[in-house]
Every structure is written in C-alpha cells, then in structure tokens.
Amino acid sequence: MKTAVYPGSFDPITYGHIDIIDRASRLFDNVIVAVLNNPSKAPLFTASERMDMIKKATMELKNVEVDSFSGLLIDYVEKRDANTVLKGLRAVSDFEYELQMALMNRKLNRNVETVFMMTSSRYSFLSSSLVKEVARLGGCVKDLVPDYVFERLVEKNKG
C-alpha cells in the first residue's frame, strides 16, 4: 500500500494545497495531510482549527486523512508506516529549500522517498502567508480559499 504524507503548516489551507491533495489522492492509496504543530511559531489558527478546515476541504476524498505532528517529519512518517513524503512546489525558488529537506530526510531514512508535485499554474503565486497578509490588510481573498476558510479569516481579522 502506498501512503504519502503531505506535511505543512496549512495556516490556512488554500486552493493551492487542495489542488495538490486532490491530485495526490488519485496517485496514492492513502494521503495523510499532516499539520505541523510548531510551538516556536505563532500561527494565526491553532492546529485543531487548521485540521478542521482541512477536513472540510477534503471530506469527499475518501483516502485522505488529516492529522498533526511535531518534531521531525521523518519520525512521523515512520510512525505512520508511510513510504512517501509529498511536497508541493509553486516555483523553482521552492525547489532549493525542499531539495535540502528531501536529502536530509533521505539521509535519516533511505526507505522514504520524497515526491515533488507542481501546483497548477493558476495557484503558482499562492501561499498561506500571502493570503493571511492580504486578508489582514482588508484585501479580498475569497477566490483563493474555500468559503469557510474565508469566513474564519474575516473573524480572526475583526479584532
């Protein structure tokens, strides 16, 4: 059975992430969307809020599971008996960092492969950080995230 772990902060999930998850669900038997819980960062949404939004976005994909983790990704992948780390790329600039991470993960466990998937061109500019910043400044991000994520962004930015 081929299981891929798609890790990230997903703060918040965007249509770019959903594009990768949807396409990966057709390539792998199981896809685990793993929300990184990093206490040293200050995300806009809690890990449970991010997981809830991802679950809503992927509820029709029966082979997609949402989970969270902290610590080393490779430890989490091993714990989940997965054999693939899935990373979405928007541009060549993403590749340099992701290549370093993939090589380190390969050093830590030679049985886990990293697969890079390019996002659809219509989402190549999209990042969670950009969505949060535009929303915080009052710009419209309605067509970049699902409606319930948009509503959560509006709520968070009211105060």
Q: What is the mean pLDDT of the chain?
A: 94
pLDDT surpassing 80 at residue 40: no
Residue 127: active-site member:
no
Distance of CA 81 to the CA centre of its chain: 19
Least confident range of 17-26, 28-37, 51-60, 87-96: 87-96
Residue 90: active-site member:
yes
Alpha carbons 84 and 127: distance in angstroms, whole number? 23
pTM of the entire structure? 0.94
Residue 41: active-site member:
yes
Alpha carbons 98 and 94: distance in angstroms, whole number? 6
- Which one of 25, 87, 128, 152 is the catalytic residue? 128
96-114, pLDDT tens digit by residue?
A: 899 999 999 999 999 999 9
Q: What is the pLDDT of residue 76?
A: 98
Q: What is the pLDDT of residue 127?
A: 92
Q: What is the CATH number of the domain that holds 153?
A: 3.40.50.620
Question: Considering its fold, how many domains does the chain have in total?
Answer: 1
Residue 128: active-site member:
yes
- Which one of 90, 106, 142, 156 is the catalytic residue? 90
How would you label 25-47 residue by residue, b for 16+ Cβ within 10 Å and e otherwise? beebebbbbbbbbeeeeebbbeb
Domain limits at 93? 3-158
- Which one of 41, 62, 107, 158 is the catalytic residue? 41
